[in-house]
Amino acid sequence: MKEFTGEDIKRIISEKDIRFIQLQFTDIFGQLKNVAVMSSQIDKVLANECMFDGSSIEGFARIEESDQYLRPDLGSFVVIPWHKKHGKVARLICDVYSPDGNPFEGDPRNVLRKVIKEAEDMGYSFNVGPECEFFLFLTNEDGTPTTNTLDKAGYFDLGTVDPGEKIRREICLALEEMGFEIEASHHEDAPGQHEIDFKYDGALSTADNIMTFKYAVKSIAQKHGFYATFMPKPVYGTSGSGMHLNMSLLDKSGSNIFVDESDKFGLSAAAYSFVAGILEHAKGFTAVTNPLVNSYKRLVPGFEAPNHIAWSARNRSPLIRVPSATGQSTRIELRSPDPSANPYLALAVCLASGLDGIKRSLTPPPSVDANLYEMTADELARNGIESLPGSLHNAVMLMQADELVMNTLGGHISGVYTDAKLKEWGSYREHVTQWELSEYFKTY
């Protein structure tokens, strides 16, 4: 993030003739919210005096204690490039505070801050590089999204068969204008599926960037008459969308503590312990990294998404992969998360799990070099390889049994989150799907 003072922000507002400021924050379920104010209210914004009704946000506050305050993170100030009509717009990402002046325990950004502080107390900073995938679909005459797409392209195909390339380019340019460093963009495996990769950053900035990225993708797609979705598995029979997380820890000098050139995989003892911590808590945090009923339609064999709790150097079938990059670029890649996850909570539980492995000097099982998708149930059992939860209900049960994950989320969020997800599962169980009608209706 850039360093801005309040005077810097007021000067930019004046120089660029900015008329509106979006005060953005993220709710417990990963939805971006905002209170928009006129630029004439900037002094009130900078004085942390902007209030909103927290009882109107699901899971935030009860109606009898609804007043909450937005405190802007000044480093997040940026002009939104696609808002050019009806007055220029800037945004500030905010932390949510209670009237007593304390951080609100239901603010996901606050949850991540706490775990980052824990890492800092151990002498570490946490870098994360996400790989965010999404689909572009056509809309019908009244703007309602469909699951139809213009292209029939696959991995890395060119624009001649990928009409979405023009939209990707515009998204990349807009994000660069907002301060992102875009590393690559390409068509993904399924028709209409795309990926844009931006440079790693500290955990809090990365979570902010993921929310900004999703906002940009959806806004620019809509401008072109398309609908962008980060739903994990919108189309049957094709690959779903993931959000792989590339993670590393740095010491106070900025050196990557995962590096040990003398190791056969180039990994340090701390890296192995971090991997072991992730593996130990993977079942417990899956309800956070894969938060929807639909998430578990992606975590099945045959579509390149992991569903077995194992790790490997190079091999892409396990939960964790160690990419071939060495030296300062050494990292571990967690392949299960999907882009419907709340990034603040997802990064918080991943970091807490890895730190737990380091604190306890955990050792991971041996690297798995075989293709896990082709191993039988007996072979998996003989190698002690377990599976990720197979449903949202199972994932929530395992999350409730994982003390570290529940403590990381805190009492407020863990209670609200589990209640909401069990309600979501109950609604899904009661719903009669088209598959059931096709399979059973005429037969029975």
Task: Check whether residue 99 and residue 142 sit in a common domain.
Answer: no
pLDDT tens column, 212-260: 999 999 999 999 999 999 999 999 989 899 999 999 999 999 999 999 9
Query: How far is residue 233's CA from residue 240's CA, in Å, rounded to a whole number?
Result: 4
Coil vs helix vs strand at 96 = strand
Inside any domain, residue 440? no
Rg (CA), the chain: 22
Query: How far is residue 335's CA from residue 318's CA, in Å, rounded to a whole number?
Result: 8
Instruction: Name the H helices within 155-199.
Output: 165-177
Q: Which of 92-101, 183-192, 365-374 has the highest mean pLDDT?
A: 92-101
Task: Tell me which of 104, 135, 160 is where a domain ends.
Answer: 104
Average pLDDT value over all residues in the chain: 92
Task: Check whether residue 37 and residue 160 sit in a common domain.
Answer: no
With 70 as the cut, is the pLDDT of residue 62 above it?
Answer: no
Task: Check whether residue 96 and residue 176 sit in a common domain.
Answer: no
Task: Check whether residue 360 and residue 243 sit in a common domain.
Answer: yes
pLDDT reported for residue 61: 57
Q: Rounded to an integer, what is the distance from CA 376 to the centroid of its chain?
A: 32
Phi, psi of 267 (to 5 degrees): -105, 145
Task: Check whether residue 74 and residue 123 sit in a common domain.
Answer: no
Residues spanned by the domain of 379: 114-435
pLDDT tens column, 7-46: 999 999 999 999 999 999 999 999 999 999 999 999 999 9
Task: Check whether residue 87 and residue 124 sit in a common domain.
Answer: no
Task: Check whether residue 177 and residue 57 sit in a common domain.
Answer: no
Give me 289's structure tokens. Answer: 């990294």
* DSSP string of 76-90, one letter each residue: G-EE-TT--TTSEEE
Task: Tell me which of 104, 127, 150 is where a domain ends.
Answer: 104
Inside any domain, residue 369? yes
Inside any domain, residue 444? no
With 90 as the cut, is the pLDDT of residue 313 above it?
Answer: no
| Residue among 271, 258, 265 at smallest CA distance from 368 | 265
Contacts of 192 (CB under 8 A, 6+ apart): 135, 136, 137, 149, 150, 151, 164, 235
Which has more pLDDT, 176 or 84?
176
Residue 323 class from Cβ within 10 Å (0-12 exposed, 13-18 middle, 19+ buried)? middle
Inside any domain, residue 348? yes
Inside any domain, residue 441? no
Stretch 68-86: mean pLDDT: 91
- pTM beyond 0.85: the answer is yes
Task: Tell me the pLDDT band of 155, cut-offs 50, 70 and 90.
Answer: low
Task: Tell me the pLDDT band of 150, cut-offs 50, 70 and 90.
Answer: confident
Residue 301 class from Cβ within 10 Å (0-12 exposed, 13-18 middle, 19+ buried)? middle
pLDDT reported for residue 324: 81
Task: Check whether residue 88 and residue 235 sit in a common domain.
Answer: no
Task: Check whether residue 328 and residue 421 sit in a common domain.
Answer: yes
Say if residues 351 and 119 touch (Cβ distance below 8 Å). Answer: yes
With 60 as the cut, is the pLDDT of residue 65 above it?
Answer: no
Inside any domain, residue 443? no
pLDDT reported for residue 64: 44
Task: Check whether residue 24 and residue 172 sit in a common domain.
Answer: no
Task: Tell me which of 80, 104, 128 is where a domain ends.
Answer: 104
Query: How far is residue 38's CA from residue 36's CA, in Å, rounded to a whole number?
Result: 7
Q: Dihedral of CA 412/351/339/216: which sign?
A: positive
Query: How far is residue 240's CA from residue 252's CA, in Å, rounded to a whole number?
Result: 38
How many structural domains are present in the chain?
2
Task: Check whether residue 271 and residue 347 sit in a common domain.
Answer: yes
Angstrom CA distances, 277 to 75, 77, 352, stand at 32, 35, 9
Residue 85 class from Cβ within 10 Å (0-12 exposed, 13-18 middle, 19+ buried)? exposed
| Residue among 55, 2, 56, 46 at smallest CA distance from 23 | 46
CATH of the domain at 83: 3.10.20.70
pLDDT reported for residue 384: 87
CATH of the domain at 255: 3.30.590.10
pLDDT reported for residue 369: 83
Which has more pLDDT, 132 or 369?
132
Inside any domain, residue 323? yes
Task: Check whether residue 222 and residue 362 sit in a common domain.
Answer: yes
Inside any domain, residue 1? no
